[in-house]
A and B are shown apart, each in its own frame.
Chain A
């Protein structure tokens, strides 16, 4: 079992004809992902290394049975691309693109919730999602993840996600699904969405959560963990020593007015019963302990 994607997920890549889309789309296919189509209105009828290109997501879905989309369109086109995928009734839309304006993200979130409640948006500005051994959508290096279980991972940070996958692999611990929700102000999928899905997934028996300073998503996740999670959670929050008011890379990672600090988040998570590591290695070690005790 897994969450959101598995070996049956059929993916259309919006922007497969671009350099990034082509590179990662074909890497995903090499991994075993069912990369069934690409879209580009000006290149319909052609193909990218055998993957057929259609003018629209709807046409691609009709011809190939695609159920999910992965967006590698540059930021100015993301709003339209996501709406197109949603109207074509994709179950999952994964937006890798970074640099999407926050107002577009807020618009998309509310538009989808109202008009396309069955569509799950992941990202923007996320590394994607991988169910090791079955399906890898996005830019995660597939070979650093050990298939199986019992750990599910949800993370706001790209490289720290890889770090977590790698450390678990080094300890011979498998992962059911690893979801990178991205560090932007309004992510389509939240920590809570993923925690709820992991809680419901019988093969996931523990969850690793990686957060960052800024916003209150981790605090909300902590509330959810306290009230609804029966499975153990190990957590790590980056940015403990970030100076207030400074943006560090991610648009989301900003602290202001004493809210959203790493200390507040770690405290909330610990109070909710999660085991909180002071650095990624410590969080990995905590997960090893948790898994040993399952």
Chain B
């Protein structure tokens, strides 16, 4: 779950971390009102769940209210890597003397938390990593021990942070680590972490991704979930509790289990088609879930055929077959459906489906055959033999 910059800064502020004052605005008028309250100059910043805002023209300094209005109307509606800007963060301008980079994330291969710190902030950290890997100081943190004051101070030294601000930066990082752990974040990134000409350390940006699995111990996450960027199809699927990711093609995909669903998407591509989505209906496949899945896919105007790929494990073939039959009764499907049913009691399941087969509902013996048939029906290009 990605947070907007301003949501991340709110979270930082709750830990007493220094962030500039600001206000959210969704119109040029709001932006002007916010700037009036904050005092000029301000920075008008696009709030989107993606990087590269600056380059795309999504961050502008405004010295007067006319500039605020102008920048706000330019930035609202801007398309930044496919994300349309619908909200702005109007922030008091900061007087930047130094720019650093700081982040905490989980290093899956080390199975520990990883802190990264660099005295060369303000630019893409990947660029720094390429040019001068030594400019990024890394620290692995054992989740059982946490980040000690001493280890943190040494890390700051290793990053070549100037002595004059080293203590202040270390204190900020210790608190930031606590926020990262308390919030169950997958990622907390501050770029830039600045030193003002008055010598104050300030978190000028925030990129925070929270672990959706930790919602049970964070009541405030529901509010963040409501501001996630999803396309219409994803929104509809999310509301029905389905694991759905929208793609660009014409073959609707339904499968049980994330691995099998991913594999189905792969196979559709391999036989020359383009999947319209990834949809995992989970271990079972009852009529309710299957109806919901078919409904979501049917509402996608790009879909020309639907591939249902089910492997029965504990769930038996006849239950799955009944689920499909019931679902096709409940939902009016516009596109032809191709079914591959395998696994436990697949024979019984196929027998149940047999009388319902038609041009609109066909069955194929294997995953590959089913994918080929679905791609053929979608008319999505050449089908390899």
Q: Which residues of B contact A183 (CB under 8 A)?
A: 258-259
Of B126, B216, B263, B265, chain A has the most CB atoms within 10 Å of the CB of B263
- Please state if A110 and B111 are interface contacts (CB–CB under 8 Å): yes
> Is the CB of A114 closer than 8 A to any CB of chain B?
yes
Residues on the B chain within 8 Å of A250, using CB = 258-259
Contact in complex: A238, B259 (CB < 8 Å): yes
Chain A count of residues within 8 A CB distance of the other chain: 61
A199 at the interface (CB under 8 A from B): no
* A139 / chain B contacts, CB cutoff of 8 Å: 283, 313-314
In the assembled complex, the Cα of A185 lies from the Cα of B247 at a distance in Å of 24
Which B residues, 282 to 329, have Cβ-Cβ distances below 8 Å to chain A?
283, 311-314
Collect the chain A residues with CB atoms within 8 Å of residue B267's CB: 279
Tell me how far the C-beta of B275 lies from the nearest C-beta in chain A, rounded to whole angstroms.
8
| Residues of the B chain whose Cβ atoms lie less than 8 Å from the Cβ of A252 | 108
Task: Please state if B259 and A157 are interface contacts (CB–CB under 8 Å).
Answer: yes
Q: Contact: B213 with A251, CB < 8 Å?
A: yes
Q: How far is the CB of A103 from chain B (nearest CB, A)?
A: 5
CA A213 to CA B265, docked complex, whole Å: 13
Determine whether the beta carbon of B143 is less than 8 Å from that of A279: no
The number of chain B residues with a CB under 8 A from chain A is: 50
Enumerate chain B residues within 8 angstroms of A107, measured Cβ to Cβ.
143-144
Q: Are B262 and A242 in contact (CB under 8 A)?
A: yes
Question: With the chains together, A27 CA to B280 CA distance in Å?
Answer: 25
B residues less than 8 Å from A186 (CB atoms): 106, 108, 111
Q: Chain B 67-79, CB within 8 Å of chain A: the 1/0 string? A: 0000000000000
Contact check, A239 vs B266: say whether CB atoms are below 8 A apart.
Answer: yes
Stretch at the interface among A37-45, A64-72, A140-148: A140-148
- CB-CB < 8 A to A241: which residues of B? 265-266, 269, 275
CB closest residue in chain A, given B50: A245
Stretch in A3-11, A55-63, A160-168 touching the partner: A160-168
Question: Contact partner of A100 among B213, B265, B280, B313, CB < 8 A?
Answer: B213
Question: Does A280 interact with chain B (Cβ within 8 Å)?
Answer: yes
Q: Please, which residues of chain B bring their CB within 8 A of the CB of A215?
A: 108-109
Query: Contacts A114-B144, A257-B126; is A101 near B262 (CB within 8 Å)?
Result: no
Indicate if B257 sits at the interface (CB-CB under 8 A). yes
- Interface positions of A from 117 to 175, Cβ below 8 Å from B: 139-141, 143-144, 155-163, 166
Q: Which residues from B are CB-within-8-Å of A156?
A: 259
Tell me, rounded to whole Å, the shortest Cβ–Cβ distance linking B368 to chain A.
6
Of B106, B143, B257, the residue contacting A159 (CB under 8 A) is B257
Assembled-state Cα–Cα distance A257/B187 (Å): 15
Residue of B nearest to A170 (CB): B342
User: Does B13 interact with chain A (Cβ within 8 Å)?
Assistant: no
Interface string of A235-256 (1 = CB under 8 A from B): 0101111110011111111000
Taking a contact as CB atoms closer than 8 A, the residue among B214, B258, B269, B312 that contacts A248 in the complex is: B258
Q: A109 in the interface, Cβ–Cβ < 8 Å?
A: yes
Among B96-119, those with CB < 8 Å from A are 106, 108-109, 111-113
Q: Which residues of B sit under 8 angstroms from A253, Cβ to Cβ?
A: 258, 262
A141 touches B367 (CB 8 A): no
**Which residues of the other chain, A, contact B113 by a CB distance below 8 angstroms?**
106
Closest to A127 in B: B313
Q: Are B260 and A101 in contact (CB under 8 A)?
A: no
- 1/0 per position for A98-116, CB-CB distance to B under 8 A? 0111110011011100100
B155 at the interface (CB under 8 A from A): no
B366 located at the interface, meaning its Cβ lies under 8 Å from any Cβ of chain A in the complex: yes
CB of B125 to closest CB in A, whole Å? 11
Inter-chain contacts of B167 with A (CB < 8 A): none
Whether A163 lies near B213 (C-beta < 8 A) is: no
- Chain B nearest CB, measured from A106 CB (Å): 5
- Write out the residue numbers on chain A whose beta carbons fall within 8 Å of the beta carbon of B143: 103, 106-107, 110
Chain A residues near B212: list those with CB within 8 A: 251
Chain A residues with CB under 8 A of B217? 76, 101
Most chain A CB inside 10 Å of its own CB: which residue of B184, B256, B313: B313
A268 at interface (Cβ–Cβ under 8 A)?
no
- The verdict on B381 contacting chain A, using a C-beta distance below 8 Å, is no
Which residues from chain A contact B362 at a C-beta distance below 8 Å? none
| Residues of A participating in the B interface, judged by any CB pair closer than 8 Å | 24, 27, 75-76, 99-103, 106-107, 109-111, 114, 139-141, 143-144, 155-163, 166, 183, 185-186, 210, 212-213, 215-217, 220, 236, 238-243, 246-253, 257, 262, 278-281
B residues whose Cβ falls under 8 Å from a Cβ of A = 106, 108-109, 111-113, 126, 142-144, 181, 184, 186, 211-214, 216-217, 243, 245, 247, 255-263, 265-267, 269-270, 275, 278, 280, 283, 311-314, 342-344, 366-368
> Which 10 residue pairs are nearest across A and B when measured between Cβ atoms?
A157-B259, A249-B258, A159-B257, A160-B259, A159-B260, A101-B214, A141-B313, A238-B262, A241-B269, A162-B313
